[in-house]
Structures are given as structure tokens and as C-alpha cells.
Amino acid sequence: MGAQVKFSKTTLEMGISVICMLLLAGTSNADAPLLLHGGTIHTVDEHTPTAEAMLITDGKVSAVGTYSSVSALAPEAQRLDLDGKTVLPGFIDSHVHVRELGMDANKANLVGVRSAEDIVERLQARYPNPTPGEWLIGQGWDEGWFGSEGYPDRAALDEAFPNNPVYLESLHGFAGFYNGAALDVAGITDETPNPGVGQILRREDGSATGVMLTLAQNLVTRHVPAASVEMRKDAIVTGLEIMRKAGVTSVHEAGMMKPDIEAFMALARENKLPIRVYGLLNGNDKELMDHWFARGIHEQADAMFAVRSIKVFYDGSLGSRTALMLEPYSDRPGAANPTERITPEKLTWLAENAAEKGFQMAVHAIGDEGNNRTLSIYEQALQPYPDQDHRWRIEHAQVVLPDYFERAANLGVVSSVQSSHAVGDSGWAEDRVGPMRIQYAYAWRKMLNAGAPVILNSDLPGEPWEPMETLYFAVTRNKLDNPTGEGWYAEEALTSAEAVYAMTAAGAHAAFQDTNIGSLSIGKWADFVILDADPFDVAPASIKEIKVLSTWVAGKSVFTSGQ
């Protein structure tokens, strides 16, 4: 009989640590099979949805089933007794900005601020004695909330930081807030016109408030010192390590720019990626896309890194009133600035080349008209390839027209949605679109009922992003501090099983990786998490309390709670 470690309720973390140390120290054969048993194993495989035991050989699942049948296959296997705990496939966060997550560790955290004075206080705490001329950077002020309550003015920033340019990224990236010193560095004056796409918000006297929407941010951000490849590599590893602690075993990195790709490629060559990465190229960069269309897709045999998808920013955001809507905004239509960040002609060129060369399209579309135009371009580009397994995506699909669901289902377009956005936007979203259009917003149930594929992700950094939070939002459509209240348009919620599928197997399918990961099926990489409770059994309000005890990639523990 192989080495046995039993996971008690009080020593579970110690049990994982002990067996890992045994393997690493050579007390047992590090290449020996590993048998998990004694808990509930949810495979997310329709043929064997649950199992008593799972055998891992050479990093892959080699058997699942009853304890007696699986144990008989490998009597000398190392054994992990789960002591009633729960195993799920590793979570796949299918829309992230992980490099930003890592870099945000060095920025002022502005999540939850409600005034310019709050922002100053956070900045002063993060930068108590800044060197004159040093850029002070923060992230996380909610452009949706401020868009309803009134955008901040830079006066407080100017007073507190007269000698330092300040750059403050919004929660979802559709607005930037800058002080006078930053505007001076960028050469922005009262006479500076709005760019072709974007808006400089102004005071009554014509001077800039410091807030800039969508691409107007580039007027300033291009002057912020760029991070080196080594700095990006460090940020990527930091971000991925944060995510693996939350049970994430694979991410889809959305909108990689050239320096990001260089950093990811280097980390992949050096075998330094802590978890798997599926890359979505920045499709708004024509030069980058010319290069990749000529180069072709990139995939690795170990499934640790791939580049196959094209992330395109089409419209803006609902919170900043820059999303493309078929009809005017219901609240303050005069304040809206619907934005096309790429022309339909350029988007069509991308789609036609992607269809020809086997790349996946993944277009950011928030407003109903933005989604409508994207679907129309997809339909046109894919028409010559009726049998192509394209798996094209729409990122967010936030507000859609009534015919979206059937069209997406017929075309096989994947709706890539974020449960945190529905909950985070619930305080003002209906004001933006009114009581009729809100019926077709954040409408995940309608998508599934129509047969349209859905994947569930976080779009981090921004709203709460950990998988147990994403799952909780999807099932309850409730805020974290309102677990027993009625969910926001709760009829659009998902079941726990639907949400877990959308965070595992569906995410793998949306990355053309469903033969390798996404479920605990025989022959796939053994990527899984061990949880202290079963999300299929606990009350929905308790899902957010479930803890990740350990995270495994290719049969190896990459995180253990308490270490």
C-alpha cells in the first residue's frame, strides 16, 4: 500500500504539506501515481459527474470512479484522504488582466472611494513622501458610480500634489483622473480638442476637470514611464501567484500588447508560469495583428501557454455612458458620448483575416447596438466558412437586443460574461437603459435558454474577482454584504452547476483546450482545487464563504492554505 495521509478537519493543510514534502524529499517515488479519495470529487464530466476516487498518473487523470475500483489499478499509489472535503476542476478565469493585477500591488487602491478627498487620503497613505516629479498612480475608482453622482474635479489633487503628476485608473478602465501636473506634462490646455474617440471633461470655464473618457486617456498615459519587460514579467508572476491561491489554474489574458507578449513568452520559455495562460492579442493594434496574422497561432504541448485569440475593444462602458446604444440613454442623454474605438471596416478586416487564418475573435461589446454590429460582422465574416469550429466570443454582451440570444445560439458565439458586473452595476444600470432595455441586460438565463454558450469570468482587476465570489454572484445576483436579500433580477441567475460549468469546462472549450483541461476526465491534465465545502450542497448565501485549501496543476500542488 502506498504512503497514506489523512486530511482531518484540523490538519488538512498539514496533510497536503506532509505528502508534498515526502514526494519532494524522495521518501516516496515522486513519479508514483497519486490517489485522491474520501471526499466528493465533482468531475464536470457528464459521463461520470461525481466520483469517490481519482487517480493521477504523470500529471494527468488516469482513472475516476469508486474507491475500490480505482485503488485496485494502482495499489502502490500515494494516497490523499480528503476526509470529506470537495474536489472540483481548477477554475478557469476566462477574461482577466493579470499583468495589471500584479502591477496594482504597487498602486494606490482606490476601490470604494466616493470623493476626491477620499482619493487624496488614499494617495497620501500610499505615497507619504513622494519625490518631486515622480508619477503617483492609483487604480479602482468606480467610473459608473461617479458617472451617476458626478465626476470628481482635480482641485483637491492639485492642492495635495502640486509637484507630482497623478494618474488614476478607473475600476473598469474607461476613464482616467489626472491632476494639473499630469495635464501639464501632457501639454493639455483649455484649447486642446477632444481626440477623435474620447472626451476631455471640462469645467464651465473650459478648463479640464482632470477626468478623461475612453481614448482621451491616451493623451496623458503615453507620457507615463513604460514598464520594462522584466517589470512586466515580475507583475505577471505576482498576479498569477495571487490567482492560484484563489483556486485559479488557468487564465485568458485579454488584450495583450507587444511588451506583454514578450514577457509571457519569456516566462513560458523559462518554465516560470505558475498557472496556465491563454493569450488574447490586442486587436486594436494593427501592426501587432499584421505580425500575428503572418506568424500564425502559438500553442504548446504542455498547454501552459497559447496565443490564438484576438481581443478587440469596440465600444465603451455603460457606467461612463460611452457604450453604443441603439436608442439614447434613459438618464442624462446629453451627457452620453457613445464611442466606437475601432471602425466597423477595421473590425471587419480583423474578422475576415481571423476566419481565414484560424484565429478566434473576442470583441468587447457593452451596448445593445455595439453587440448588434459585432454579431452582424461575425455573421458576414464566417459566412464563407459554414463548417468552421470558430468558437468566436463577445466579451461582456452586457446590454443586447431581443434577437441577440437566438442569433448568438445559431452562430455558436460564446457570450463571455462577468457576474460581478451585474451586481456591481445594479445600483445605476437601470437608470442608464430604462425598465424595458434592462430586461435584456446581464441576461445569462436568456442566453442559456436559447442555447447560446456562456462562459463566466471576472475581468479582474476591478470588482471582487475570486472564484467563490464569481460563483456566489452568478447564483445569487446579490452583493457580498446582502447574502439573504433578494437578488437583482434574480430570474437571470444561474444554478451552481451551470456556473461551475461556465467557470471550468466551458472556459476550456472557449480556448480550444477542452481536450486537455476543464474537467477531471481521463486523459486530461489533473488541474483541480480542494475546497472546504461543497458549493453544490451549501446554501447559495454561503458559497462566498467557501475556502480554497489547495490548488493543483498537472497533478502538482501549487498552493496550500497556511503555507
Instruction: Determine the Cα–Cα distance for residues 63 and 285; give it in Å rounded to an integer.
Output: 45
Q: Spell out the residues 6+ positions from residue 314 whose beta carbon is closer than 8 angstroms to its own.
A: 324, 340, 341, 342, 347, 363, 364, 365, 370, 373, 374
Name 550's bridge partners: 530, 560
Residues 182 and 202 in one domain: yes
Structure confidence at residue 273 (pLDDT): 98
> Is residue 4 included in any domain, yes or no?
no
Residues 203 and 265 in one domain: no
Residues 154 and 184 in one domain: yes
Residues 193 and 265 in one domain: no
Q: Do residues 121 and 537 make contact, with C-beta atoms less than 8 angstroms apart?
A: no
Residues 347 and 469 in one domain: yes
Helices (H), 325-463: 344-357, 368-382, 404-411, 419-425, 429-437, 444-449
Domain extent, residue 213, equals 98-221
Structure confidence at residue 7 (pLDDT): 45
Residues 359 and 501 in one domain: yes
Final residue belonging to a domain, choices 167, 193, 221: 221
Reference 214, options 341, 371, 54; nearest CA is 341
Instruction: Determine the Cα–Cα distance for residues 404 and 424; give it in Å rounded to an integer.
Output: 23
Instruction: Determine the Cα–Cα distance for residues 187 and 105; give it in Å rounded to an integer.
Output: 29
> Is residue 38 included in any domain, yes or no?
no
Structure confidence at residue 23 (pLDDT): 41
> Is residue 389 included in any domain, yes or no?
yes
Q: Which residues of the chain have pLDDT under 70?
A: 1-30, 563
Structure confidence at residue 25 (pLDDT): 36
Name 299's bridge partners: 306
Residue 256: phi, psi to the nearest 5? -70, 125
> Is residue 134 included in any domain, yes or no?
yes
Cβ atoms < 10 Å from Cβ of 439: 15
> DSSP class of residue 333?
G
Residues 206 and 263 in one domain: no
Instruction: Determine the Cα–Cα distance for residues 417 and 528; give it in Å rounded to an integer.
Output: 23
Structure confidence at residue 3 (pLDDT): 52
Final residue belonging to a domain, choices 498, 515, 532: 515
> Is residue 35 included in any domain, yes or no?
no
Give the domain CATH number at 250.
3.20.20.140
Structure confidence at residue 30 (pLDDT): 56
Q: Do residues 313 and 367 make contact, with C-beta atoms less than 8 angstroms apart?
A: no
Residues 303 and 378 in one domain: yes
SS (H, E, C) 210-265: EEEEHHHHHHHHCCCCCCCHHHHHHHHHHHHHHHHCCCEEEEEEEEECHHHHHHHH
The DSSP string of 156-209 is HHHHH-TTS-EEEEESSSSEEEE-HHHHHHHT--TTPPPPSS-EEEE-TTS-EE
> Is residue 418 included in any domain, yes or no?
yes
Residues 472 and 407 in one domain: yes
Instruction: Determine the Cα–Cα distance for residues 364 and 280; give it in Å rounded to an integer.
Output: 12
Residues 317 and 194 in one domain: no
Amino acid at 285: D
Final residue belonging to a domain, choices 172, 190, 221: 221
Cβ atoms < 10 Å from Cβ of 435: 8
Residues 414 and 504 in one domain: yes
> Is residue 283 included in any domain, yes or no?
yes
The structural domain count of the chain equals 2
Reference 286, options 265, 257, 322; nearest CA is 257
Give the domain CATH number at 121.
3.10.310.70
> Is residue 550 included in any domain, yes or no?
no
Instruction: Determine the Cα–Cα distance for residues 404 and 410; give it in Å rounded to an integer.
Output: 10
Residues 496 and 348 in one domain: yes
